[in-house]
Amino acid sequence: MTLKKQFVPSTFLFGIFLLLSSCSRKYVPDTTYSVEQIKQDFKLMRHALEESHPGIYRYTSPDSIRWVFDQTEKLLDHPMTELEFRRTVNPIFSYIRCGHTDIYPSKGYSKYIKKNKPKEFPLGLYYVENKLRILQNRTDDTSLVVGTEVVSIDGQPAADIIAKMRQLVPSDGYNQTFKTTVINGNFGGFYRYLYGNKETFEVTVQDSLGKKRGLKLSFNKPPKPTKKASIPVKTASNQPPKTPVATPKLMVKTNPKLRTLKLSEKDSTVAILDINTFSDDRYRRFYRRSFKALKTQNIKHLIIDLRANGGGKSDASINLMSYLLDANYTVYDTAAAITLRPSYQHYYGHKFPRWFTRYFWSKKLPDGRRSSRSAQRVQKPTRRYGFKGKVYLLTNGGSFSAAAIFPSMIQQYNPRAVVIGRETGGGRHGCNAFISPYLTLPHTQAKVRIPVFKLVLNIPGADIGHGVQPNVPIEYRFEDVRKARDLDVERAYELINASKSEK
């Protein structure tokens, strides 16, 4: 047997041994990393952001960004766990002011949490009207009623807790609706992230008369419903409803988790297009069938619900625009990347998409940046099934990325459209996106998401760092949330009825 033939099997077996050894290693959340290790991770993260983030100085000056990095590095003066490291550097991303840029747990941490789920926070809390109120009671204390104000938790004033949570949620520009929406959707998770896992919590509440009392609370798992129970118990939700109370008729068959098109039961001239995401690949067929159905059934008013739509594929939102705009349109003014070959190539994911983008999907600009070849493409409206009626776009802080680009364009270029609700979480003038690879830090293995392209929409006016402002602003009070009222849809019907009476 030759030396080569002897070497190949032994190398193969050694590789299998290493693979099995790495797979058998258990993640230990209390593992600490030395000051040298966490500083190496930090410097790699900082260099990668400064080198390749296309919009790092879009809303914050270079001097301010450098100051934030320098101040944060001073906090890395003692050994830390992965969680402590992420919690320390997390506020940096709020200063970058890009909702597509954040730090995420390592794969090991994520798997560990999935297998060792922490107990839920004992209260479902909702922040509105500058107060933190109980929306769900998950304890045995029946004296805690929905609507009771929470003044402090474990000695921390509610206002301070919310302020700290806001620092953990990056958003586009100076937007706050995105932060509030995210916090309301997972208050317990953010509290654990800030203050650690606990069995009991010291909570101070205040009733409507201003009387305060302190309580020690712990999560109580609700009993499973008995087989004899036939009437479902309605529980409060941590989010305002997205659809009308009535159950409209489905006009086009589709996956309801992605989107639905329904005929209103209140008015046969009204249809409701509820789009939960732009991430699905089968959008073209759905939109074509949907707008064909709208034309066939002579629909005059279309409500498009984009609330809590976190975005997805830009092409999906652009395709939807073609059914609602009357003239040719260009979505992006520019879409440029600083570099597609970062220094720390080894630590980045999405290698094939970045390679493909560099050599086939982008072109080099005179200043060395890379521009998307299709960014300034002129899009044509769909003539056959184009919708000529009135459009009512419902938005809130959860309308992000492609779900903010869409209402920005429709509001600007469709005179029959009106935006109802709250400021979108995504920027009105664009964002940083298209491709957003993850940078895996070598020691803690935490992942940093860094978008590649800076997108600037083809709309007039200066970018002031905010989302799409509604034509008809709607603000919820706590009572509206508690009663599960859908004020946005209610207002849409009021506008529809008013338009009919004008004729």
The DSSP line for 292-350 is HHHHHTT--EEEEE-TT---B-HHHHHHHHTTT-SS-B--EEEEEES-SS-TTGGGBS-
Level-2 CATH architecture, domain 123-217: Roll (2.30)
Lowest mean pLDDT among 224-238, 240-254, 264-278: 224-238
The answer to whether residue 381 scores a pLDDT higher than 50 is yes
Burial of 485 from C-beta contacts in 10 A (0-12 / 13-18 / 19+): middle
CATH class (in words) of the domain with range 249-502: alpha beta
Two structure tokens written together for 82: 């992965």
User: For residues 89 and 29, which has the higher predicted lDDT (pLDDT)?
Assistant: 89
pLDDT tens-digit profile of 306-316? 999 999 999 99
- The SS3 call for residue 502 is helix
pLDDT digit string, tens, across residues 213-231: 999 999 876 555 544 433 3
202 is written with which tokens?
């010291």
Contacts of 396 (CB under 8 A, 6+ apart): 177, 181, 240, 307, 308, 421, 422, 424, 425, 488
**pLDDT value at 284 more than 70:** yes
Token pair for 364? 């080099």
Given this model, what pLDDT does residue 8 score? 38
Least confident interval from 13-17, 35-39, 87-91, 238-242: 13-17
pLDDT above 50 for 323: yes
pTM: 0.88
pLDDT at site 209: 87
Type of residue at 485? R
Helix (H) or strand (E) holding 87: helix 82-89
Cβ atoms < 10 Å from Cβ of 404: 31
More confident of the two residues 234 and 360: 360
3-state secondary structure of 434: coil
Confidence of residue 404 (pLDDT cuts 50, 70, 90): very high
- % of the chain with per-residue pLDDT over 90: 75
pLDDT over threshold 60, residue 235: no
More confident residue, 281 or 494: 494
3-state DSSP assignment of residue 200? coil
What does the pLDDT average to over 469-485? 97
Q: How far is the C-alpha of 199 from the C-alpha of 319, rounded, in Å?
A: 49
- The confidence band for 395, taking pLDDT boundaries of 50, 70 and 90, is very high
Residue 2 predicted with pLDDT over 50: no
Is the pLDDT at 15 greater than 60? The verdict is no
Alpha-carbon gap, residue 254 to 463, rounded angstroms: 37
Domain ranges of the chain: 123-217, 249-502
- Compute the average pLDDT of residues 406-424: 98
Spell out the residues 6+ positions from residue 425 whose beta carbon is closer than 8 angstroms to its own: 99, 171, 172, 175, 177, 178, 181, 396, 397, 398, 399, 400, 404, 467
CA dist., res. 23 & res. 19, Å (int): 6
- pLDDT at residue number 119: 84
Q: How confident is the model at residue 503 (pLDDT cuts 50, 70, 90)?
A: low
Say what the pLDDT of residue 239 is.
52
> Mind listing the pLDDT tens digit for each residue in 137-179?
999 999 899 999 999 999 999 999 999 999 999 999 999 999 9
pLDDT at 148: 96
Q: What share of the chain is helix, strand, coil (3-state, %, to 5)?
A: 35, 20, 45
pLDDT at position 324 over 50: yes
